[in-house]
Amino acid sequence: MAPVAGSPVPSSASPHAPSLFRFSIEARQAPALFVAGWLSTLVGAGLAIIGFLGLPGAGPAVLLLVGLGLVSAGLILLGGSQAIERRVAGEPYAGPSPILLFVAIIAGTLFVAAIVGSVLSLAGFRLPQSEYALGDLVSVALQALVFVGLVRLMVVGTGAISWREMGLTVDRSRILGWLAGGALLAAPVIIVTGVVASILVALIGSVPPSPLPPTGSSGGLALHLLAGAVLAPLSEEVVFRGAMLTAWSRSVGATSAIVRSSLLFALAHALTTSGSDFGQAAGIAIVATVARLPVAFALGWIYARTGTLWASIGLHATFNAVLIVVSEIGVAAPAAFLLLR
């Protein structure tokens, strides 16, 4: 397997940076960032929990909003602290851990969603049912901004991985070739994924809802294609392949990096699942996670193989576009939950 672009051979001789869970400032290169990061994260988590469990009203909502903001800020500070520690220690990957980045993205996405939701609620705005596709597009666009923004701040901004090392070149002729190469893999991946999903649904009996349900209109289809086949693939590939897979490949090798980033990618798509009871919710989460593993591994493999995000974006975008179209026209609609939003 070809190495991911820009990834050096892991060195077992490199010294290790102090763990984020060693609560001591001794020998730390950025003690202020470390302390401020943990204080902000812990205080924010406490406020968010109180706000989430509180009675309906403005008070709990404010606590939840402030708590999510503090958690997001704290995790970003901890990422900066970890990047400095790893750089000084000379580790192969000198940036925040992919798990820390993942948690920061979740917190940041919830924070932005809470802000937008609060503003719209105070303004008395309610989106008509006929415009739900527009709401989906706005939601995916905000999520994409958080995804790419936090990778820029925590990974690229710390000098851990550059956009070029992710394979985001600007050579148009090569970009088209990589996109097309990725798109060619979509058909077999969709077939394998469909088989796996069908088996899981038959065994478990739960079907997760589609993140982009059919709209019944050409305008809605166009908005969903923009959201699910353009914005979501770009932002998710930057996070899961460009940042996470590249980071792990530098410390544990490409194969393990593909497995880890794929598991996290599949799990991320099950975080918002729910059900009428615990058993149903667990079944939906299992189906939503496991059914996405084939395409997750395929995305990781093609990125590691080519060393460029454009190839995985081509596969991701085509995969989503096909499922959006077939769902819209009523063909294999039960498989619409496989959309990688």
The confidence score (pLDDT) of residue 10 equals 46
Q: Tokens 């991985």 sit at which residue?
A: 161
4's tokens: 């991911």
Helices (H), 205-333: 218-226, 232-237, 246-252, 254-268, 278-290, 293-306, 309-328
- Burial class of residue 62 (count of CB atoms within 10 Å of its CB; 0-12, 13-18, 19+): middle
pTM higher than 0.75 for the full model? yes
Residue 9 binned pLDDT confidence (cut-offs 50, 70, 90): very low
**Ramachandran region, residue 23 (left: φ > 0; alpha: ψ -120 to 50; beta: rest):** beta
Query: Per-residue pLDDT tens for 74-122?
Result: 999 999 999 999 999 999 999 999 999 999 999 999 999 999 988 888 8
The confidence score (pLDDT) of residue 337 equals 56
Beta carbons within 8 Å of 189's beta carbon, 6+ residues apart? 294, 295, 298, 315, 319
Query: Per-residue pLDDT tens for 228-278?
Result: 999 999 999 999 999 999 999 999 999 999 999 999 999 998 887 777 777
Query: Cα–Cα distance between 31 and 184 in angstroms, integer?
Result: 49
107-127 exposure pattern, b = at least 16 Cβ within 10 A, e = fewer = bbbbbbebeeeeeeeeeeeee
**Ramachandran region, residue 17 (left: φ > 0; alpha: ψ -120 to 50; beta: rest):** beta
The confidence score (pLDDT) of residue 333 equals 47
11 has pLDDT over 50: no
